[in-house]
Amino acid sequence: MAFLSASDGFIKKSTTSVENKFISKYLPAIDAVAAKVYLYSLYLLQSGSSYTLTDLAHSLELDEEKIKGYYVYLEELELVSIVSDSPFEIKILEAENISGTPKKFKPEKYSDFTKNAQNVLKGRMISTNEFREYFVLMEEYGFEQNALIMIINYCVNLHGDNIRAAYIKKVAKSFADDGATTAKKVDEKLSAYTSSTPALINLFNAAGIKKQPDLDDDKLYKKWTNELGFDDAAIISAAKQFKAKNCEKLDEALAELYKNRKFDVKEIEDYCKNKNSVYALTVDVAKNLGVYMQTSAPYVENYVNVWCNYGFALDSLREISAYCFKQGKNSFEEMDGFVNKLYDDGVVAESAVSDYLEKQRADDKLIKELLTACGLARKIIPWDRDSLARWRSWGFTDGMLFEAAKISSGKSNPTAYMNGVLSAWKTSGVFSPDQIPSASNSTSKPAQNNERDMRVEVERHYYDLRHTAEENAERALKRATSDEVYGGIRKELNELSIKLAFAEIRDKSEAEKISAIIKDLEAKGDERLSELAISKDDFTPHYACTICNDTGYDKSGNPCKCMKKFISEFKI
């Protein structure tokens, strides 16, 4: 088995030679044999040779243990990473690490530091290279000597004399990130950590986390309690319910609970009990919508959990998904729009949802019958539902609607004509079949007929204008989203928009990252639209009249000047 592998960043390098940064920064300062091991390793990796550690030792005429020692040396310089000790494997890293850049230091400047550090790390000898790494920390991060000794001492007390330099460097950089580089500030930070240690120990014991708490754990604990607002009992409950055996897993669990607004022990327990049900619901919703899911987790997080947090019952969501499929809303995104409309209208309770959907189904059945009476066999469109709601608000019964549909049958635009007929009846106070003017009466009242015909024509005219503009916009959007590339970008943008909404609440830096990704995706989307010869502006209806948006009435409800012009031309 080959013992060499490379990081993704290294593999993606376009060069097959030694990095210039290694030659300019490392080569003049590092041990000659270590450089020999490093360069030969690069050669083996780039040539694709399946060398073992034994083969390398033979080629360089060194024993294997010595080579391992040089790799430890190179790891401390952050040129390689030891992936496994048995079997022995290393990974080549980029020669870009600032902290790993060798520098020349005057030994006498740090003579006291070297003595004190070796006194703290009594269990092993500190190598020259390890001292160099500590010198870099003091030079580049501004640590006082005593401050860094205190950090080394803290690490030794926590993990023993055999603690590796890499861990000490990681902790030191964490202190530097918090601005603690003086002995006073390091002491303050350690004191603050010590004050929360008992709570952490109690938490670890209750949760079954088998380790001593360190500063990273303390930082997470303060995040959980101060930023997210969980108390100790809730954190312990989360650890048990999610079976989190380390702080990283526990942090993920608490982030999920925070997002779903579950803070109390009982809320957490109920959430976890229902979690399996929510996943099962997500699968059912996907089946009802006809959606294929490679994994359900993103759909649970971005849609179903949100709906459940609104207060919708699981069975209600199943019923809604089945209804959405029949209405042509065949995606989680489109169902989300419908669910949000229900939520905005206050239709959340299970009985309210069932009643609403039953009414919608009954209305759709009536609309289909009216379309048939008009002589149409097309699908129901949103305008039909809006028209039905308007006609009912005018006070017409279903019977009167059928009468108007029969009169409109055979006309060039039956539904627009029907709208005009009903409008004329409303104006004339005709609300029952016996009040409908007969054909003979109609001919005896030409003025009234002319007025009715004019209204019908006006309604038909504006319907045609509005319908054409909206249909063109819908057609442009459908054409764009049917493209695999743009459709995928738009779907990803919708999902990121949901994540951004949550991130803006809990993590400003994460929100900024998501915003940057969204901006980049939007640019790619615009580029793809350009390739398709589609403008994003085409997604918005372009009405013939920008004053009334092809309704015939301005914002004040008065007839628009375009309507007056049309009527005058109609009379001519």
Domain boundaries of the chain, sorted by first residue: 4-92, 107-181, 187-259, 267-348
What gap in Å lies between CA 125 and CA 531, rounded to an integer? Answer: 65
Q: What is the pLDDT of residue 9?
A: 60
Nearest to 503 by CA among 493, 494, 513: 513
* 3-state DSSP assignment of residue 109: helix
> Read out DSSP for 315-374?
HHHHHHHHHHHHTT--SHHHHHHHHHHHHHTT--SHHHHHHHHHHHHHHHHHHHHHHHHT
Q: What is the pLDDT of residue 447?
A: 47
**Domain 4-92 bears CATH identifier 1.10.10:** yes
Q: Is 241 left (phi over 0), alpha (psi -120 to 50) or beta?
A: alpha
Task: Print pLDDT tens along the chain (572 aa).
Answer: 556 666 666 555 545 478 877 887 777 778 888 889 888 888 888 766 667 888 888 888 888 888 888 888 787 777 888 887 777 888 888 775 544 445 555 667 788 898 888 988 887 888 877 888 888 888 888 899 999 998 888 888 777 877 888 888 888 888 888 888 998 988 888 877 766 677 777 788 877 887 777 777 888 888 888 888 998 889 888 888 888 888 888 898 898 888 878 888 888 888 777 776 788 888 889 989 888 888 888 888 889 988 988 889 888 999 999 999 888 888 899 899 999 999 988 999 989 999 999 998 899 899 999 989 988 888 887 778 888 888 999 999 999 999 988 888 877 678 877 888 888 888 888 888 888 876 444 444 444 455 656 676 777 778 778 877 888 888 888 888 888 888 888 888 878 877 777 777 777 888 888 888 988 998 998 888 888 888 888 888 888 898 988 888 888 878 888 888 877 765 54
Q: What is the pLDDT of residue 555?
A: 81
Cα 379–384–387 angle (5° rounding)?
Answer: 170
Helix (H) or strand (E) holding 169: helix 165-177
Q: What is the pLDDT of residue 495?
A: 80
> Given the structure tokens 């003017």, which residue do they identify?
437
What gap in Å lies between CA 200 and CA 224, rounded to an integer? Answer: 12
Q: What is the pLDDT of residue 441?
A: 46
What gap in Å lies between CA 558 and CA 155, rounded to an integer? Answer: 78
CA atoms within 13 A on the CB side of 516: 6
Direct distance between the N- and C-terminal alpha carbons of the chain, in angstroms, rounded to an integer: 93
Nearest to 3 by CA among 80, 97, 95, 96: 80
Q: What is the pLDDT of residue 290?
A: 87
Q: At what angle do helices 183-207 and 215-222 cross, to 10 degrees?
A: 80
Q: What is the pLDDT of residue 462?
A: 80
Q: What is the pLDDT of residue 412?
A: 67
Distance, CA of 371 to chain centre:
42
Q: What is the pLDDT of residue 321?
A: 93
